[in-house]
Amino acid sequence: MIDGVPSLQVVGDRWTVSGAITMDSVVGLLAASASLAMPPAGVVDLEHIDRVDSAGVALLLDWKRRAAAEGTPLQFSGVPQNMMSLALLYGVEDMLGA
């Protein structure tokens, strides 16, 4: 990852997201994820996110809805504290697995 540049990769049986997950990047990440099967382990690793705004929370909620529609469990690991703070603010922390 180039510092700040968003990336969605399949690593083993999970997705790994890194970089800045903001209004400027979520459309590209959503498009990239659309061509992928949901992660077989049902895990999205967020440990390497370096910047996030409310659009990043919306992206995770979209992935949760997609997984539910496909009958696949989905959880997030390594959720950054600033993302959890936004999720708490919006009342969606339970959907992020907090």
CA 30, CA 16: separation in Å to the nearest integer? 13
**b/e code 35-66 from CB counts within 10 Å (16+ = b):** eeebbeeebbbbeebebbbebbbbbbeebbee
User: What's the burial of 71, exposed, middle or buried (CB within 10 Å: 0-12/13-18/19+)?
Assistant: exposed
What distance in Å separates the CA atoms of residue 87 and residue 45, rounded to the nearest whole number? Answer: 17
Expressed as residue numbers, the domain containing 53 is 7-90
Q: Is residue 78 part of a domain?
A: yes
In this prediction, residue 1 carries a pLDDT of: 45
Does residue 18 sit within a domain? yes
CATH number at residue 26: 3.30.750.24
CB 92: neighbour CB atoms within 10 A? 16
pLDDT score, position 3: 54
pTM to 2 decimal places: 0.91
If one counts the domains in the chain, the total is: 1
The per-residue pLDDT for 33 is 96
